[in-house]
Amino acid sequence: MTSTRLSRGTAAAALLTALALGGCSAHPGAAAVVDGERISEAELSRAVSDFAAVTGQQVEPGAMLGTLVVAPLLLEVGSEHGVGASEDEAVALLDQQAEAAGLPAPEDGYGSGVIDVAQMTLVNQRLAAAPEGAAAAQAITERISQADVEVSPRYGEFDPSGQIAPQALPWIATTTTPATPLG
């Protein structure tokens, strides 16, 4: 009987650990959910690889996810202020960036995530130059802070400032290597 209880306890602990580390358990395969709209792990991965393809620079998935969370909110506010950017304009911006970096544009095109990021960049530039730019910036800040955002724990927690902060994992011990004296 004791070994059965021990096995059940071990299995329960393993299940709880898997659920805690498994991501958005209510949204399997989701890196984040923003106001009910899902950003999948695949979309995030594609955006990270597309960004590297056009800039030659790596970006951390958590940083890209923060941008993908904010992008639709910024695009909505831009639209409300009469400012937008088409998908064609976004693709042109990405192509220009790839050319400036001396890189070829991806043969299979760009994923929706990096196109959203390029549209967000264009709209943000246009809003900054618009007479109502300050009001739009305030509206963006408010929209971000009011958004219903769930982020997979693997990336951290969404901060109302629009960033994803790494989640504290107190059960994981961190070690530091003692400094070696010079000389």
CA distance 35 to 178: 46
Q: What is residue 162's three-state secondary structure?
A: coil
pTM of this prediction exceeds 0.85: no
Tens of pLDDT, residues 68-77:
999 999 999 9
* pLDDT of 14: 39
Tens of pLDDT, residues 14-36:
333 333 444 444 567 899 999 99
Sequence spans of domains, the chain: 28-165
* pLDDT of 170: 64
CA distance 33 to 24: 9
* pLDDT of 23: 41
Ranges under pLDDT 50 in the chain: 1-25, 180, 183
CA distance 32 to 92: 28
